[in-house]
C-alpha cells in the first residue's frame, strides 16, 4: 500500500544555534519528517513530557511518550547537538536512556568536533548514530531504519523494508528494549542484525560500538 | 544589462567566491535545500548568520577588552562563530576561527586580538559578497528569469 510513511515520523531536533536549528529543520522536512525544534536539552525533556520530580510510570505498555501530562505527540527520534550550554547532548541522551518511558526513543548526536572518545562515549550510552556537522541530507537517510523499529503501528510493508534495509549497528542492551510490547512489528529484528558493523563515512568516521 | 548577461554574471561571481575560498561545498548544500516551497531558504539562513555573527563579534570585542580576560568565554563565542560559519559554508571565516581557538587555548592575548581583527575583516568581506550575490539574484528574478545553479 502506498503510504507516505515518513510523514508519520516526528523528529525532535535540539540545538542551541539558531542557524543549525533552521538547517536541521529544513533537512528533516526535505526528508518528509515532521519536525519540532527546541534550543536546549531541558526544553527537549519538557517536550518529551519528562519532569525531574515525577516518578516514572510502571506501565511500560503505554505507546505514547508522556508518563504524566498533556503530551500527546509521539516522538520517533531525537537528534541533538553535543555542545550546548547547560545540558549537553550527552546529558540529554543519558536522561532519555535512563527514563523507562523514553529509553526506546532513538537518539542521534551531532557535533562539529571529531573527537573519537566523544563519539564512542555517545554510542556506548545508546546513541544510534553520531553525525559530524555540517549534517548532510545523505546522513539523514540513516535515520529511517531506527525510527521504523520504534513505530507502534503494524505495517507489514515496513517489516519487509526493514529486513532488506541497511542493517544498523546496535548495542547489546538494545535487544532488551526490542522486547517492549509496544513494538509489535519487531519480529523482523533477528539477533544477527544486532551485531555492530562498522560503516565507513566519507570523512573516515565509522559508527561502531 | 539583459537577462542572459545577468545570469552569466551571477555564475561567474558565484564561481569566483568558491575559487577564492569565501564559500565552500556547504553553501551548495544550502542551495540544494531551497525549492519552490522554500524559495527564500538560503537568504533566511544567511540573514540569521549575519545577525548571529554580529552579536558574537560584539561579545568577543567586549570579552577581549576586559582587564582580566576570560579565555573560556572568548573560546565559547569563537566556537559558536566557527560552527555557524561552517554551517553556511563561509570557509574563510571558519578558518580564522580555528586559529582563534588555538590562541584562546594558549591564552595568548595578542594572538586573540589579531584573530578578532582578522575575523571581523573576513566576516565583512563575505557579508558584502553574499549581499552582492543576492542582489544579482533578485535582479534576475525581477527580470522574470530563474537562478542558474
Is residue A158 scored above 50 in pLDDT?
no
CB contact under 8 A, B45 and A133: no
Residue A27 has its nearest CB partner, among B33, B84, B88, at: B33
Is residue A195 scored above 50 in pLDDT?
no
From the list A163, A168, A177, A178, the residue with the least C-alpha distance to A208 is A168
Instruction: Check: CB of residue A164 under 8 Å from CB of residue A144.
Output: no
B21: alpha, beta or left, given left = phi > 0 and alpha = psi -120 to 50? left
Mutate to test the interface with B, among A13, A21, A22, A23 (most CBs of B within 10 A): A23
- The residue that leads in pLDDT, A188 or B1, is B1
Q: How far is it, in rounded angstroms, from Cα B52 to Cα B81?
A: 8
Residue B48 has its nearest CB partner, among A22, A85, A134, at: A22
Is residue A94 scored above 60 in pLDDT?
yes
Give me the DSSP letters along B94-108: HHHHHHHHHHHHHT-
Which residue of chain B comes nearest to A26, CA vs CA?
A: B33
Is residue A104 scored above 90 in pLDDT?
yes
Instruction: Check: CB of residue A27 under 8 Å from CB of residue A137.
Output: yes
- The residue that leads in pLDDT, A207 or B105, is B105
CB within 8 A of A157, min separation 6: which ones? Answer: A1, A3, A5
Q: How far is it, in rounded angstroms, from Cα B115 to Cα B78?
A: 10
**pLDDT tier, A7 (very low <50, low <70, confident <90, very high otherwise):** low
- SS3 call for B78: helix
**pLDDT tier, A172 (very low <50, low <70, confident <90, very high otherwise):** very low
Residue B83 has its nearest CB partner, among A26, A133, A136, at: A133
Give chain A's contact residues with B (Cβ, < 8 Å): 17-20, 22-23, 26-27, 30, 83, 85, 112, 133-134, 136-137
CB contact under 8 A, A137 and B29: yes
- Which pLDDT value is given to residue B149? 84
- The rounded percent of chain A whose pLDDT value lies above 90 is 54
pLDDT tens track for A49-63: 975 444 444 444 444
Instruction: Check: CB of residue A110 under 8 Å from CB of residue A131.
Output: yes
Residue A23 has its nearest CB partner, among B38, B52, B87, at: B87
Region A158-169: mean pLDDT is 50
Is residue A182 scored above 60 in pLDDT?
no
Which residue of chain B comes nearest to A24, CA vs CA?
A: B87
- Which pLDDT value is given to residue B1? 76
Q: Which residues of A touch B49 (CB under 8 A)?
A: 19
CA distance B2 to chain A (A): 34
Give whole-number Cα distances, A19 to A138, B9, B42, in Å: 19, 29, 11
Mean model confidence pLDDT for chain A = 75
Region A170-176: mean pLDDT is 44
Angle formed at CA A133 by CA A129 and CA A137, multiple of 5 degrees? 75
Q: How far is it, in rounded angstroms, from Cα A99 to Cα A94?
A: 9
Give whole-number Cα distances, A73 to A62, A107, A127, in Å: 13, 17, 22
Q: How far is it, in rounded angstroms, from Cα A160 to Cα A196?
A: 21
Sheet holding A107-111, edge to edge: A34-38, A10-14, A77-81, A107-111, A129-132
Give whole-number Cα distances, A16 to A106, B30, B83, in Å: 20, 20, 11
CA distance B44 to chain A (A): 9
Q: Which residues of A touch B33 (CB under 8 A)?
A: 23, 26-27, 30, 137
Is residue A197 scored above 50 in pLDDT?
no
Q: Please compute Rg for chain A using Cα positions.
A: 16
Give chain B's contact residues with A (Cβ, < 8 Å): 26, 29-30, 32-33, 38, 41, 44-45, 48-49, 52, 76, 79-80, 82-84, 86-88
Region A134-144: mean pLDDT is 94
Instruction: Check: CB of residue B115 under 8 Å from CB of residue B96.
Output: yes
Q: Helices B91-106 and B109-142 meet at what angle, rounded to 10?
A: 160
Q: Which three cell numbers stand for residue B27?
A: 553553501
Tell me which residues of chain B have a pLDDT lower than 70: none
Q: Which three cell numbers stand for residue B140?
A: 534576475
- SS3 call for A75: coil
CB contact under 8 A, B83 and A137: no
CA distance A112 to chain B (A): 7
The ipTM of this complex is: 0.95
Region A93-122: mean pLDDT is 96
Is residue A179 scored above 90 in pLDDT?
no
Region A135-156: mean pLDDT is 81
Mutate to test the interface with A, among B34, B40, B75, B87 (most CBs of A within 10 A): B87
Region A180-208: mean pLDDT is 44
Instruction: Check: CB of residue B26 under 8 Å from CB of residue B88.
Output: yes
Amino acid at each position: 500500500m502506498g503510504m507516505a510513511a515518513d510523514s508519520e515520523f516526528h523528529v525532535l531536533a535540539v540545538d542551541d544555534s539558531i542557524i543549525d536549528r533552521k538547517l536541521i529543520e529544513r533537512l528533516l522536512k526535505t526528508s518528509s519528517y515532521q519536525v519540532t525544534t527546541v534550543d536546549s536539552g531541558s526544553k527537549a525533556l519538557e517536550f518529551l513530557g519528562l519532569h525531574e520530580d515525577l516518578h516514572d510510570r510502571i506501565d511500560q505498555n503505554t505507546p505514547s511518550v508522556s508518563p504524566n501530562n498533556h503530551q500527546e505527540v509521539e516522538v520517533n527520534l531525537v537528534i541533538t547537538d553535543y555542545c550546548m550550554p547547560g545540558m549537553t547532548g550527552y546529558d540529554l541522551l543519558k536522561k532519555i536512556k535512563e527514563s523507562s518511558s523514553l529509553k526506546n526513543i532513538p537518539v542521534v548526536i551531532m557535533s562539529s568536533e571529531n573527537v573519537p572518545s566523544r563519539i564512542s562515549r555517545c554510542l556506548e550510552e545508546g546513541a544510534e548514530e553520531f553525525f559530524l556537522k555540517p549534517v548532510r541530507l545523505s546522513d539523514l537517510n540513516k535515520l529511517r531504519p531506527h525510527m521504523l523499529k520504534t513505530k507502534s503501528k503494524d505495517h507489514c510493508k515496513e517489516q519487509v523494508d526493514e529486513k532488506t534495509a541497511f542493517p544498523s549497528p546496535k548495542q547489546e542492551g538494545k535487544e532488551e528494549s526490542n522486547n517492549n510490547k509496544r513494538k509489535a512489528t519487531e519480529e523482523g529484528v533477528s539477533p544477527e542484525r544486532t551485531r555492530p558493523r562498522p560503516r565507513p563515512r566519507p570523512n573516515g568516521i565509522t559508527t561502531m560500538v | 544589462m539583459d537577462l542572459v548577461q545577468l545570469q552569466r554574471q551571477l555564475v561567474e561571481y558565484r564561481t569566483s567566491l568558491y575559487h577564492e575560498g569565501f564559500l565552500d561545498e556547504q553553501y551548495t548544500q544550502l542551495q540544494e535545500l531551497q525549492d519552490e516551497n522554500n524559495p527564500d531558504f538560503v537568504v533566511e539562513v544567511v540573514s540569521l548568520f549575519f545577525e548571529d555573527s554580529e552579536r558574537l563579534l560584539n561579545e568577543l570585542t567586549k570579552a577581549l577588552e576586559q582587564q582580566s580576560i576570560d579565555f573560556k568565554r572568548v573560546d565559547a563565542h569563537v566556537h559558536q562563530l566557527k560552527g555557524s560559519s561552517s554551517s553556511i559554508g563561509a570557509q574563510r571565516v571558519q578558518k580564522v576561527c580555528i586559529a582563534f581557538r588555538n590562541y584562546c587555548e594558549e591564552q595568548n592575548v595578542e594572538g586573540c586580538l589579531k584573530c578578532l581583527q582578522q575575523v571581523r575583516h573576513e566576516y565583512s568581506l563575505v557579508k558584502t559578497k553574499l549581499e552582492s550575490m543576492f542582489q544579482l539574484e533578485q535582479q534576475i528574478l525581477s527580470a522574470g528569469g530563474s537562478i542558474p545553479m
